[in-house]
Chain A
Amino acid sequence: MSKLVEGIAEAVRRSGLKDGMTVSFHHHLRNGDYVLNMVLEEAARQGIRGLTVQASSLFDAHLPLIDHMKSGVVTGLETDYMSGGIGREISRGVLGQPVIFRSHGGRPEAIESGRVHIDVAFIAAPAADPLGNANGVAGPAACGSLGYAMSDAKCADTVVLVTDHIEEYPLIPASIGEEDVDIVARVDSIGDPGGIVSGTTRITRDPVGLAIARYAAQVIEASGLCREGFSFQTGAGGASLAVTQYLKPIMKRLGVTGSFGLGGITGYMVDMLEEGYFRSLLDVQCFDLRAVQSIRDNPRHFEVSATRYAGPHAKSAAVDSLDVVVLGATEIDTDFNVNVHTDSNGYIIGGSGGHSDTAAGAKLAMIVAPLYRARLPIVVDRVLTRSTPGKTVDVLVTQRGIAVNPLRGDLEEKLRAFGLPVVDIHELKERAERVTGKPETVRPGGRVVARVEYRDGSIIDEIRSTEE
């Protein structure tokens, strides 16, 4: 029987999807993804109920999911991240049972170890051949790396590729191989290119963000880690990306060539590869068009699975070889625990993604954040949600000083010797409160709406409903 079917209805029927099953999705199409909505709408039409959605991340494009929760089509959710629109509904208690949050490394561990069982994986494939070889670098919805879909393809009972771009067999290169694929569903469109990748990722122009980034680059130099073979990961937002701008002249001056840049990859990291600052990029996800073009054309820009990126169960993962990671935070407490799950009112606005994985793996895990946002200090007594344990976080860089985790006395000495403004984290908190006052802490007291599972499988925190 041919693997190729026309339309999502036939694909869902052929997949054998039934009440109570677990369906999985990847998030490489980000806020442009049509596939998750398409599949759930069809499931609802076919009268299927009680599904658990196992998604590597969710964006506001997936808001129809909330209606499927209200109608009982979806009754369970496991994910690594959700944007604020979805988070708000979850925080209000739309789902009967708690969401399970994992990290980008913890998710494939749970899948590959069998702790999480996927009945049907629906894998958005920007390009595929009729037998199920697929990649993310061709077709109208090209997104680059398909790193987060790989464990789903390997482990799900049934694997359905959903594509709008069929090429002749054999499709090369193939991120997902035909040996794992049961069904190839051809649909009109799998996603909106405008929402998948931004045209260009831009470095922040906010002068506070730039001041923080400049300090962060100096911390990297002072740490002594910026030496031949240096490896580096940074996020795409706010001050994180701007660190690359200040890191380049330092690497040039020190005559250092890095071994690899890791993670979600932006055009700025591609520039660093092409200009010879790094020998390679290991890419689990592309953030912009330059990254997509580069992973297609440059053999030194290499696609890796979520397991090879960050799997805690892997025999080794790239994060374990990482020297420096630059991360954000919504709040950090005086024990260096970081919250990237909830906002100051307790609503879910994010998730770990690779935060806790890279913090655990990197030799230097650095949080960059403004000391206060609007009227709220970034440093608190106790984070509302513990996303990343403080023992894995080495340093907090703000525009008004740098706090080093007391566990890293060696690092503190190096930063002081370099002339950087090292400050006790309690003092940073007081400095912020002198400006903002001490805000009253909101701790939602409703039932548990989500659990945060650390990469080792332990539950490190619970998130409660904002509705009492």
Chain B
Amino acid sequence: MLFVPGNNPGMLLNADVYGADALILDLEDAVAPAEKDAARVLVRNALSACGYQGCEIIVRINPLGSGYTGEDISAIVPLRPDMLMPTKVSDAGAIREVSRMMAEAERESGLAEGTVGLLPLIETAAGVERAYEIAAADPRVKAIFLGAEDLSSDLQAIRSKPGGEIAYARGRMVMAARAAGVDVYDTPFTDVNDEEGLRQDAELARALGFTGKAVISPRHVEAVNQAFTPGEGEIRYAREVMDAIEEGKRLGRGAVSLRGKMIDKPIVDRALRVLETARALGLGGAEHE
């Protein structure tokens, strides 16, 4: 997921060429108050002119109480982005309020209610504590997103590269999302020039259970894609698991073991997920040898 400032025509123009699965066109923090109107018009035009084939489109809107939310929603919803990202979401009520405004905009532009989804940005202590409520607040919510910069400030914590200060929030977010049956995305790594740090941070996010991770620079897309791509060893092991299961079925065995370890349902589920991801990425996960 690549953040793209909504007030930068050059970046909007080429946003879909870097290999990101999703683009987050930003009307919020990247845009100064004096430029909110201009950015809204620019993003609206970019959405209708650029097409952005092959990328999921998310528009980050200004938070309730900023005075811009209503205009953001009524300008953007008619262009049918995949999701809106409301910011500083701290309770389920905010989601229901935004959803209601979106329903109105959908009605006015002749769209079916629920066409546009929601990806709440959770970046306050209250929001993290209520992450499950937020994730389950409305059927529009397809995923939740952790914003570590504002959160650290709210926590009065010191933001660090290893991220010990957000360890609890990361765990809590993944827990809440999975419990509510939605996806969950990790905060961006903000040092544009630290490639090794980026790789470690992305691998940690994947290991913790995040669906994906946001980036603030096009140059980070490849490393994050790589971190979230199953490795050769992982794919091989997943295939071995599936082969062992097939073999067990053929021989009519109830319990199957591989390399001396019992293979139970969670292991099979994980293997299936790895193979499905590999297949989606064209890594040949479907082949059984």
A residues near B (Cβ < 8 Å) are 205, 207-208, 210-211, 372, 399-400, 419, 434-435
B13 near A211 with CB under 8 A, answer no
- Judge if B280 is at the interface, Cβ distance under 8 Å: no
Can you offer 13 A-B residue contacts whose CB atoms are under 8 A? A205-B219, A207-B14, A207-B18, A207-B217, A207-B219, A208-B14, A208-B17, A211-B218, A372-B13, A399-B17, A400-B17, A419-B282, A435-B49
Query: How far does the alpha carbon of A284 sit from the alpha carbon of B199 in the complex, in Å?
Result: 39
Asked if B19 CB lies within 8 Å of chain A CBs, one says yes
A435 close to B18 (CB less than 8 A): no
Nearest Cβ in chain A — how far from B46, in angstroms?
Answer: 10
Known contacts A211-B19, A434-B49: A399-B219 contact under CB 8 Å: no
Indicate whether A211 sits within 8 Å of B49 (C-beta atoms), given known contacts A205-B219, A435-B13: no
Which of A207, A208, A434, A435 has the most B CB atoms < 10 Å from its CB? A207
Q: A399-B14, A400-B17, A435-B13 are in contact. Are A207 and B49 (CB under 8 A)?
A: no
Tell me, in angstroms, the Cα distance from A341 to B282 when the chains sit together: 42
A419 to B19, CA, bound (A): 14
Residue of A nearest to B11 (CB): A207
Q: B residues within 8 A CB of A210? A: 218-219
Q: How far is the CB of A243 from chain B (nearest CB, A)?
A: 15
Contacts of A205 in B (CB 8 A): 219
**Beyond A210-B219, A211-B14, A400-B17, 10 extra complex contacts between A and B, CB < 8 Å:** A205-B219, A207-B14, A207-B217, A208-B14, A211-B17, A372-B13, A399-B14, A419-B282, A435-B13, A435-B49
Residues of B within 8 Å of A419, CB to CB, are 282
Q: Which residues of B contact A211 (CB under 8 A)?
A: 14, 17-19, 218
Contacts of A208 in B (CB 8 A): 14, 17
Chain A residue nearest in CB terms to B51: A434
Q: Which 5 A-B pairs have the closest CB atoms?
A: A207-B218, A399-B17, A211-B17, A208-B14, A207-B219
B-side residues, CB < 8 A to A, are 13-14, 17-19, 49-50, 217-219, 282
Name the B residues within 8 Å of A435 (CB-CB): 13, 49-50
- Alpha-carbon separation in the docked complex, A372 to B13 (Å): 10
Q: Which residue of A lies closest to B220 (CB)?
A: A207
Minimal beta-carbon separation of B119 from chain A (angstroms)? 24
Min CB distance, B1 to chain A, in Å? Answer: 15
Chain B residue contacts of A400, Cβ below 8 A: 17
Give complex CA distance A207, B16 in Å: 11
Contacts of B217 in A (CB 8 A): 207
A227 CA to B17 CA, complexed, in Å: 28
Expressed in whole angstroms, the Cα–Cα distance for A205 and B19 within the complex equals 16
B89, chain A: closest CB distance, angstroms = 30
Report the nearest B residue to A398, measured CB to CB. B17
Nearest CB in chain B: distance from A254 CB, A? 16
Distance in Å from the Cβ of B180 to the closest Cβ of chain A? Answer: 35
**A211→B50 CA distance, assembly (Å):** 17
Give min CB distance, B226 to chain A, whole Å. Answer: 11
Question: Which residue, A205, A211, A419, A434, has most C-beta atoms of chain B within 10 A?
Answer: A211
Name the CB-closest residue of A to B15: A207
Bound complex: CA A400 to CA B51 (Å): 12
Complex formed: what's the CA distance from A308 to B18 in Å?
40
Q: How far is the CB of B214 from chain A (nearest CB, A)?
A: 16
Q: Which residue of A lies closest to B217 (CB)?
A: A207
Distance from B25 Cβ to chain A, minimum over Cβ atoms (Å)? 16
Least Cβ–Cβ distance between B172 and chain A, in angstroms:
33
Chain B proximity of A65: nearest CB distance (Å): 36
User: What separation, in Å, do the CA atoms of A207 and B18 have in the docked complex?
Assistant: 7
Q: What chain A residues lie within 8 Å of B14 (beta carbons)? A: 207-208, 211, 399
Residues of A within 8 A of B13 (CB): 372, 435
The complex places the Cα of A71 from the Cα of B49 at a distance, in Å, of 54
